[in-house]
Copies of this chain bind each other. A is one copy, B any other.
């Protein structure tokens, strides 16, 4: 998505080789029209997969997931992040390590909102090490739901997440794929 790449270049803040801050349009302030264009890309790519539910993670996944759900005509569920590692009997859950926050989190989804009849599209803002994506896949497996693919706004292609999901046979569709980042420089995979 060319427009997204341009906005990452003009508005993203890069710190070293790993941290890309996109607080001005995705992670803190949200630009609704831009998110709508992202959602149109996701909906177009996955339109023939008979998606019955979108699963994302709070908070930054909610905006692109909601507008994709509106376009595809399906409900959206956001997994809750809990620092507590306790489980609730009525939830599916999986732990993942957050590299940006340097802590373990448990993602939880109520059993009421995911079932073996669901064809699930996963949506997330970033794909880096793939930890959150892997946890969402694990949650779908617990529910017996079918994972149809994953839509990512920004993929750091030089980290392990993409390969991890490719190896699981999951259709990964990323709107911007960063091959290299360093201070002022950001390169994309076309």
Task: Decide: A112 and B24 in contact? CB cutoff 8 A.
Answer: yes
Tell me the complex Cα distance, A31–B69, Å. 8
CB contacts (< 8 Å) of A110 on chain B: these are 23, 28-29
Could you say which of A28, A35, A77, A110 has the most chain B C-beta atoms within 10 Å of its C-beta? A28
CB contacts (< 8 Å) of A36 on chain B: these are 70
Assign chain A's interface to a size class. Answer: 20 to 34
Tell me the complex Cα distance, A32–B35, Å. 14
Shortest C-beta distance, A151 to chain B (Å), equals 15
A137 at the interface (CB under 8 A from B): no
Shortest C-beta distance, A26 to chain B (Å), equals 11
Chain B, residue nearest A31 (CB): B75
Among the 9-residue stretches A57-65, A142-150, A167-175, A182-190, the one with 4 or more Cβ atoms under 8 Å from chain B is A57-65
Contacts A30-B62, A30-B77 supplied; 15 other A-B pairs, CB < 8 Å: A23-B110, A23-B113, A24-B113, A29-B76, A29-B112, A30-B66, A30-B69, A32-B74, A33-B73, A58-B58, A59-B59, A59-B78, A59-B80, A63-B66, A66-B66
Top-7 shortest CB links A-B: A58-B59, A32-B70, A32-B69, A29-B113, A30-B76, A59-B59, A62-B62
